[in-house]
C-alpha cells in the first residue's frame, strides 16, 4: 500500500518531467547563400595545382575542409548531341543530396573545386554553424537559352533544388533565410546574338528569382551579387557582357557587381601542362569566393 501511495504522489512529477523532455526546441536561425551560374560557379579549377600555386599549408587546410560551413551542391554540364540539340547531365553532387562540410572536390568532379572554398575560408570562424551554402550551377550554360525564362531548361530545376534544400534545413531544426544570391556567369553569352540581350535577360532572370524565392528570403528581394567574366580570348565580347552587368548593378542598391578583372583574377597559368584559359586558376578561384563573401557579409544576420 505504501509503495502505491509513493508512486501515486510521484506520478505528477514524472509526467511533468516527461512534458519538459518532449517540449520542441526553438528552430535555430541560420543564413543561407545561394551560388549559381556556369562553369566557374560549378568549379573547374584543378586541385592538383594547389600545392604549387598556394603552398602545402593551404592545400592541407582546403583538403581538410570547413565542418562549420556546410554546402548542398548539384553541378551540371551542358553538352551537344550529334544532331546539335542541347542536353544536360549531372556531374557531381553532395552525398545523399544533403548538406556536407565545404571542402575540395565540390566542383564539376572530385578533382576540382569552386568558389565555395574561398567563401568558407573567409567565413568559417565568424559564422561557424550559422551559414549554409546552396550551389546549383551548370557548365557551358548561357543566360539567354538556359536560365532567363521560368520554362527554360535549368531554371525550374534550380528553383526546385533551392526549395528542397531549404526544406531539408527546416527538417534538421533550423530556421533558414536566404540572405544573398551569388552569380558567376556570362561567358556563354559573350558572343554575337547573345551579348546584346544580356542586360534585359539578366533583369528578367533576377526578377524571377526574387519573386520565386521571396518567401524564403524573409519576404524581401534577395541581394544579387554578380561577378564579371574574365578577359580570356575565348570570350569575344567579354567587355559587353560586363558592361551589361554593371548597368544592372546600377539599377538598385540591392544589385552588386564584382569587377574580377580589376581584382586580378586570371585564367592563364593552370593546369601547368596545358593551360585552360576558360577557367580560373587556383588562387583566383579562391579569391572569387573571398570576394563574394566580402560582399554578402553585410547582408547576414
What's the whole-number mean pLDDT along residues 212-220? 98
- Tell which residue, 15, 24, 33, 16, has the closest CA to residue 222: 33
What's the whole-number mean pLDDT along residues 188-210? 98
Please check whether residue 40 is in contact with residue 113, taking contact to mean a CB–CB distance below 8 angstroms. Answer: no
- Tell which residue, 284, 297, 244, has the closest CA to residue 114: 284
Q: What pLDDT, on the 0 to 100 scale, is given for residue 24?
A: 67
Residue 16: inside a domain: no
The C-alpha R_g of the chain, in whole angstroms, comes to 22
Kindly tell me if the per-residue pLDDT of 274 is higher than 60: yes
Residue 160: inside a domain: yes
Residue 203: give its domain's CATH number: 3.40.50.1110
Domain count, the chain: 1
Residue 252 CB-half CA count within 13 A: 12
Residue 9: inside a domain: no
What's the whole-number mean pLDDT along residues 257-275? 97
Residue 275: inside a domain: yes
State the Cα–Cα distance between residues 298 and 34, nearest whole angstrom: 15
Cβ partners under 8 Å of residue 80, min gap 6: 86, 87
DSSP labels, 140-205: T--IIIIISSTTSTTHHHHHHHHHHHHHHHHHTTEEEEEEEEEEE--GGG-STTTGGGHHHHHHHH
Q: What pLDDT, on the 0 to 100 scale, is given for residue 301?
A: 85
Residue 147: inside a domain: yes
Please check whether residue 71 is in contact with residue 100, taking contact to mean a CB–CB distance below 8 angstroms. Answer: yes
Q: What pLDDT, on the 0 to 100 scale, is given for residue 28?
A: 97
Using CA of residue 149, residue 155, residue 160, residue 166, what is the dihedral sign?
negative
Residue 20: inside a domain: no
H or E segment to which residue 8 belongs: helix 2-21
Q: What pLDDT, on the 0 to 100 scale, is given for residue 81?
A: 94
CB-based contacts of 249-254 (< 8 A; 24+ apart in sequence): 251/203, 254/221, 254/223, 254/224
What's the whole-number mean pLDDT along residues 212-217? 98
Kindly tell me if the per-residue pLDDT of 2 is higher than 60: no
What's the whole-number mean pLDDT along residues 64-93? 96
Please check whether residue 102 is in contact with residue 70, taking contact to mean a CB–CB distance below 8 angstroms. Answer: yes
Q: What pLDDT, on the 0 to 100 scale, is given for residue 22?
A: 63
Q: Please, what is the average pLDDT of the chain? A: 93
| Cβ-based neighbour number of residue 167 at 10 Å | 12
Please write the tens of the pLDDT for every residue from 235-246: 999 999 999 999
Residue 7: inside a domain: no
Determine the 3-state secondary structure of 21 from DSSP.
Answer: helix
Out of 3-7, 93-97, 109-113, least confident range: 3-7
Kindly tell me if the per-residue pLDDT of 78 is higher than 50: yes
Please check whether residue 31 is in contact with residue 266, taking contact to mean a CB–CB distance below 8 angstroms. Answer: no
Kindly tell me if the per-residue pLDDT of 211 is higher than 60: yes
pTM of the complete model: 0.92
- Tell which residue, 218, 184, 180, 128, has the closest CA to residue 294: 180
Q: At what angle do helices 56-64 and 116-123 cross, to 10 degrees?
A: 90
- Count the residues in the chain: 301
Kindly tell me if the per-residue pLDDT of 12 is higher than 80: no
Residue 21: inside a domain: no
Please check whether residue 44 is in contact with residue 279, taking contact to mean a CB–CB distance below 8 angstroms. Answer: yes
Kindly tell me if the per-residue pLDDT of 65 is higher than 80: yes
State the residue range of the domain holding 261.
29-299
Kindly tell me if the per-residue pLDDT of 40 is higher than 60: yes
Amino acid at each position: 500500500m505504501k509503495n502505491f501511495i509513493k508512486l501515486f504522489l510521484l506520478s505528477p512529477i514524472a509526467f511533468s518531467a516527461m512534458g519538459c523532455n518532449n517540449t520542441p526546441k526553438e528552430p535555430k536561425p541560420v543564413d543561407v547563400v545561394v551560388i549559381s551560374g556556369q562553369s566557374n560557379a560549378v568549379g573547374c579549377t584543378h586541385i592538383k595545382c594547389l600545392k604549387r600555386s598556394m603552398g602545402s599549408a593551404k592545400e592541407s587546410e582546403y583538403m581538410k575542409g570547413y565542418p562549420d560551413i556546410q554546402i548542398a551542391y548539384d553541378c551540371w554540364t551542358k553538352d551537344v548531341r550529334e544532331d546539335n540539340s542541347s542536353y544536360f547531365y549531372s556531374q557531381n553532387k553532395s552525398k545523399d543530396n544533403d548538406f556536407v562540410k565545404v571542402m575540395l572536390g565540390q566542383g564539376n568532379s572530385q578533382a576540382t573545386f569552386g568558389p565555395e572554398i574561398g567563401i568558407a575560408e573567409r567565413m568559417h570562424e565568424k559564422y561557424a554553424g550559422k551559414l549554409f551554402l546552396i550551389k546549383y550551377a551548370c557548365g557551358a550554360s548561357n543566360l539567354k537559352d538556359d536560365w532567363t525564362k521560368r520554362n527554360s531548361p535549368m531554371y525550374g530545376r534550380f528553383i526546385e533544388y533551392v526549395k528542397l534544400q531549404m526544406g531539408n534545413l527546416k527538417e534538421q531544426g533550423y530556421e533558414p533565410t536566404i540572405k544573398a544570391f551569388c552569380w558567376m556567369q556570362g561567358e556563354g553569352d559573350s558572343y554575337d546574338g547573345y551579348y546584346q540581350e544580356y542586360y534585359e535577360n539578366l533583369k528578367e532572370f533576377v526578377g524571377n528569382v526574387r519573386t520565386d524565392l521571396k518567401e524564403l528570403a524573409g519576404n524581401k528581394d534577395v541581394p544579387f551579387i554578380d561577378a564579371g567574366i574574365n578577359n580570356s580570348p575565348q570570350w569575344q565580347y567579354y567587355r559587353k557582357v560586363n558592361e551589361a552587368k554593371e548597368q544592372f548593378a546600377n539599377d538598385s542598391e540591392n544589385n552588386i557587381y564584382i569587377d574580377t578583372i580589376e581584382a586580378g583574377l586570371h585564367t592563364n597559368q593552370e593546369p601547368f601542362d596545358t593551360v585552360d584559359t576558360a577557367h580560373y586558376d587556383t588562387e583566383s578561384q579562391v579569391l572569387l569566393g573571398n570576394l563574394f563573401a566580402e560582399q554578402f557579409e553585410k547582408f547576414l544576420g
